[in-house]
């Protein structure tokens, strides 16, 4: 199937804040949970009759496989027409998924588990990346050691749990450190100003902090913490659109392999789509293990530990239904070669 040229495609959508259905009317025609409108794709294009969907992604190099699939025409190759919709935070993309403004999304396991209580229809289909090196601990200049930390900036979800595990690894009581919630892009500057002492975030924010004179102390893998990214949808949409989800999974699988084998191509695709400097993506490919796979027993144990974290902190009213969300076996049962 021929790939549509970049010159004829529409730009990838970027949503800076929480997406509401009324605001979304500027780029979608409906807000129903099963909506798959017929507008043009954001990059790869699709053949006549190919199902059209919107997929929520973030704006960092961790989403490189989606941008590669766009740039390389892999959506069209696998028979689906895709618009990628960018969000500043993964949780906002999940909110849009539940509202029906997108049909699929990429997001971290940790953040998604924290959202399950209010979003029981979420379904996780596969893992497409994992890493213990991409998130890093950054300390303000002048803070000599972790035991001197009094305030840490966090983003709810993955960042917050990574921060908690960091403090625990140093024998620091979490209630002795104040957590300051902020958007990722604000955190390096807040730290530089002295409003907080440290943070744990994904790239490019640790590197941004280093440019400001802050110190990268270690990666999360140094204290035994790693994350994964899931491909998400919802049970109502999947019921009627399984074949479309399979096409997305197959395209993403090919794109993840391309990201690993050709970091420069992944870097160009990510720069074109999300304005991420190419060196950041090349570095990210070294720090992240990209690859589509099914879930393992070890994964499920880790997800249960994450659910226990949310319950223990009182952040959720009931225990997240991880078992009902994670669709173990969906990938090998439905895709070729997985």
Q: What is the 3-state secondary structure (H, E, C) of the chain?
A: CCCCCHHHCCCCEEECCCCCHHHHCCCCCCCCCCCCCCCCCCCCCCCCCCCEEEEEECCCHHHHHHHHHHHCCHHHHCCCEEEEEEECCHHHHHHHHHHCCCCEEEEEHHHHHHHCCCCCCEEEEEEEEEECCCEEEEECCCCCCHHHCCEEEECCCHHHHHHHHHHHHCCCCHHHCEEEECCHHHHHHHHHHCCCCEEEEECCHHHHHHHCCCEEEEEHHHHCCCEEEEEEEEHHHHHHHHHHHHHHHHHHHHHHHHHHHCHHHHHHHHHHHHCCCHHHHHHHHHHCEEEEECCCHHHHHHHHHHHHHHHHHCCCCCCCCHHHHECCCHHHHHCCCC
Burial class (CB in 10 A: 0-12, 13-18, 19+), 138: buried
CB 59 within 8 A of CB 276: yes
pLDDT digits (tens, 9 = 90+) for 29-77: 233 333 333 233 344 556 667 899 999 999 989 999 999 999 999 999 9
- The answer, yes or no, to whether residue 184 has pLDDT greater than 80, is yes
pLDDT digits (tens, 9 = 90+) for 306-322: 999 999 888 888 889 99
Mean predicted lDDT score pLDDT of the chain: 87
Instruction: Tell me what the mean pLDDT of segment 123-147 comes to.
Output: 97
Return the higher-pLDDT residue of 5 and 121: 121
Using 50, 70 and 90 to split pLDDT, how confident is the model at 12?
A: low
- The answer, yes or no, to whether residue 151 has pLDDT greater than 80, is yes
Return d(Cα 48, Cα 121) in angstroms, integer. 31
Tokens encoding 98: 């539940």
CB 150 within 8 A of CB 178: yes
Using 50, 70 and 90 to split pLDDT, how confident is the model at 146?
A: very high
pLDDT digits (tens, 9 = 90+) for 284-308: 999 999 999 999 999 999 999 999 9
Instruction: Tell me what the mean pLDDT of segment 214-223 comes to.
Output: 98
β-strand partners of 222: none
Using 50, 70 and 90 to split pLDDT, how confident is the model at 13?
A: low
- The answer, yes or no, to whether residue 16 has pLDDT greater than 80, is no
Tokens encoding 141: 């200049």
């Amino acid at each position: 199937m021929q790939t549509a040229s970049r010159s004829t495609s529409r730009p990838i959508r970027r949503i800076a804040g929480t997406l509401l259905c009324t605001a979304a009317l500027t780029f979608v025609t409906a807000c129903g949970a099963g909506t798959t409108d017929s507008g043009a794709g954001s990059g790869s294009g699709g053949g006549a009759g190919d199902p059209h969907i919107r997929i929520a992604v973030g704006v960092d190099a961790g989403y490189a496989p989606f941008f590669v699939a766009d740039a390389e025409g892999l959506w069209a190759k696998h028979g689906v027409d895709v618009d990628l919709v960018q969000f500043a935070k993964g949780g906002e993309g999940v909110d849009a998924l539940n509202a029906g403004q997108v049909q699929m999304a990429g997001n971290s396991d940790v953040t998604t588990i924290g959202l399950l209580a209010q979003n029981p229809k979420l379904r996780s289909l596969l893992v497409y990346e994992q890493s213990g090196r991409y998130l890093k601990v950054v300390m303000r200049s002048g803070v000599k050691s972790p035991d001197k930390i009094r305030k840490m900036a966090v983003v709810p979800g993955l960042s917050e749990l990574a921060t908690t595990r960091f403090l625990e690894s140093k024998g620091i009581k979490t209630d002795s450190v104040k957590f300051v919630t902020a958007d990722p892009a604000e955190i390096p500057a807040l730290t530089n100003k002295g409003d907080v002492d440290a943070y744990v975030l994904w790239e490019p924010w640790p590197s941004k902090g280093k440019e400001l004179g802050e110190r990268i102390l270690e990666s999360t893998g140094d204290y035994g913490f790693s994350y994964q990214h899931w491909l998400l949808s919802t049970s109502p949409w999947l019921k009627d659109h399984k074949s479309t989800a399979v096409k997305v999974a197959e395209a993403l699988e090919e794109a993840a392999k391309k990201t690993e084998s050709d970091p420069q191509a992944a870097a160009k695709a990510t720069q074109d789509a999300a304005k991420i400097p190419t060196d950041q993506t090349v570095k990210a490919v070294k720090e992240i293990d990209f690859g589509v796979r099914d879930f393992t027993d070890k994964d499920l144990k880790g997800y249960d530990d994450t659910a226990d974290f949310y319950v223990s902190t009182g952040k959720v009213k009931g225990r997240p239904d991880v078992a009902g969300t994670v669709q173990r076996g969906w990938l090998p049962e439905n895709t070729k070669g997985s």
